């Protein structure tokens, strides 16, 4: 232990001890700060200015544990690609909970911090490239206005990790509103002890949904709130062409934040069946399937909550099913409203869904770039590509312009709305890989240039032009991997 005090809390360890194991990170040989998110630290009031550079690196790597901190790894279960298994933090340890000046609580977690009782044969470590990748993507998601875990720092360890090749080791220090997952509730329900499930429910509601504490059926109320949050989150993903890639129940956070950035990627050419993950052979987590899988995961949460929804199982099932039936309507409403804004429609009306789907069908037919197409609609001089030169698009474009002007809606206001929700810059997969390749070789300049471009993704400027270009035609098909 050290004499450093960060005033971190640890309310999670008030739960029954089956939910966690207290242990410290495995020390690393030579921790050095690769990148530290000073803006994030300032925003949440996390002051590390009292530390010298080595203390800062030691703290962010887990070599230095502040006084009165009791680090722990969480236990949970989950359906992974539809198969249920016991899981837990196999390479992650929560240092504690930071309370911001506004009263918001954040977990501070080390990812790549060594073996835990839940490692299942893994080494508990992480490589530099994947940790920098999570830093880039999570911070890009934040700038895009999408709920997400945040990256506080990446620390090189001075050690080698062994995957297919020898790779430089690293630790990601990340922050989240919490790491409570659907899989955490699945884990609780396995014990078939109502007090254990009740303790987790009460804790989660107190931490995330205090306004429903006095509701008559708290379990059902929480299910409804989580359903609303997930519908909102998936709608955001669909807005920017994000594909999570591994929507297992252990990767669905109850707080509604995007969590875990292993095989995720962003879609270039619009294709609803797009999959990047090397192991998703059936397209289970393809772009278009994401709302379907969110609904499936919510059903697993509902199953875990049944004993708390009603003592009579049949009554509990009926209440849960009635609730889950509402997801499709909630999501459809959010999706239509979102797609309407992408087309500058301030209010979606009957018939607009046809206008939306016709454009998406044309984009698919002509292999149009998802991100750039919506930005190109705003331009006075549209590009001369196959989509914009087609008769089908020109007919659609005329109907769209007429729709915008139906209620004397000023085109400038429609374009301003479109500019606020359609990003110019996303983490293009080829640009991310270029930045990571350079960083692994010791050159962080491309990494920082990409971060700068992604920090203001809705602002058009000449400096970011290179980051808006899709990969060259004929480029190798992009593929992502879970084993990072």
Q: Active-site positions?
A: 250
| Distance in angstroms (rounded) separating the CA atoms of residues 14 and 207 | 13
Identify the residue whose tokens are 């602002």. 459
Strands 242-243 and 265-266: antiparallel
How big is the CA angle at 253 (ends 128 and 245), to the nearest 5 degrees?
55
Secondary structure of 425-481 in HEC code, one letter for each residue: CCCCHHHHHHHHHHHHCCCCHHHHHHHHHHCCCCCCCHHHHHHHCCCCCCCCCCCEC
Q: What's the N-to-C CA distance of the chain in angstroms?
A: 30
Contact predicate 251/148, CB 8 Å? no
Transcribe 19-53 into DSSP letters: GEEE-PPPP-SS-EEEEE-HHHHHHHT---TTS-H
Which H or E element spans position 105?
Answer: strand 105-111
Local structure of residue 184 (DSSP, 8 states) = H
For residue 233, what are the contacts with CB-CB under 8 A and spacing of at least 6?
146, 147, 256, 257, 258, 294
| Distance in angstroms (rounded) separating the CA atoms of residues 134 and 155 | 13
| Distance in angstroms (rounded) separating the CA atoms of residues 297 and 289 | 12
Q: Which two tokens stand for residue 29?
A: 């040989």
């Amino acid at each position: 232990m050290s004499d450093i005090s960060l005033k971190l809390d640890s309310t999670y360890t008030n739960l029954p001890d089956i939910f966690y194991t207290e242990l410290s990170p495995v020390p690393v040989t030579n921790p050095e700060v690769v990148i530290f998110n000073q803006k994030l630290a300032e925003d949440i009031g996390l002051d590390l200015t009292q530390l010298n550079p080595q203390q800062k690196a030691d703290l962010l790597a887990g070599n230095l544990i502040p006084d009165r901190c009791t680090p722990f790894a969480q236990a949970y279960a989950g359906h992974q690609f539809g198969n249920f298994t016991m899981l837990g933090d196999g390479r992650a340890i929560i240092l504690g909970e930071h309370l911001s000046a506004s009263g918001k609580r954040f977990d501070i977690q080390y990812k790549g911090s060594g073996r835990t009782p839940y490692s299942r044969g893994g080494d508990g470590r992480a490589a530099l490239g994947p940790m920098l990748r999570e830093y880039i993507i999570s911070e890009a998601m934040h700038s895009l206005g999408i709920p997400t875990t945040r990256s506080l720092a990446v620390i090189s360890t001075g050690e080698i990790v062994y995957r297919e090749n020898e790779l430089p080791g690293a630790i990601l220090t990340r922050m989240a509103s919490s790491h409570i997952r659907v899989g955490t509730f699945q884990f609780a329900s396995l014990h078939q002890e109502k007090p254990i499930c009740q303790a987790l429910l009460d804790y989660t509601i107190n931490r995330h949904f205090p306004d429903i504490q006095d509701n008559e059926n708290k379990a059902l109320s929480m299910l409804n709130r989580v359903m609303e949050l997930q519908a909102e989150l998936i709608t955001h993903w669909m807005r920017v062409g994000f594909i999570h890639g591994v929507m297992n129940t252990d990767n669905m956070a109850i707080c509604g934040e995007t969590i875990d950035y292993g095989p995720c990627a962003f879609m270039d050419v619009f294709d609803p069946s797009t999959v990047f993950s090397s192991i998703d052979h059936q397209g289970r987590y393809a772009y278009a399937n994401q709302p379907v899988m969110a609904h499936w995961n919510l059903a697993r949460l509902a199953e875990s909550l049944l004993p708390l929804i009603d003592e009579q199982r049949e009554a509990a099932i009926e209440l849960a099913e009635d609730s889950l039936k509402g997801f499709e309507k909630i999501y459809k409403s959010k999706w239509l409203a979102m797609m309407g804004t992408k087309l500058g429609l301030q209010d979606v009306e009957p018939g607009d869904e046809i206008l939306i789907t016709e454009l998406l069908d044309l984009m698919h037919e002509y292999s149009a770039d998802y991100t750039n197409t919506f930005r190109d609609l705003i331009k006075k001089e549209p590009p001369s590509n196959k989509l914009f030169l087609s008769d089908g698009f020109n007919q659609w474009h005329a109907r769209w312009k007429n729709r915008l002007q139906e209620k004397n809606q000023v085109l400038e206001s429609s374009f301003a709305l479109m500019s606020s929700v359609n990003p110019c810059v996303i983490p293009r997969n080829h640009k991310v890989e270029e930045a990571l390749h350079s960083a692994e070789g010791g050159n962080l300049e491309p990494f920082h240039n990409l971060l700068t471009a992604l920090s203001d993704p809705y602002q058009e400027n000449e400096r970011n032009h290179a980051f808006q270009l899709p990969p060259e035609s004929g480029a190798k098909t992009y593929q992502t991997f879970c084993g990072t």
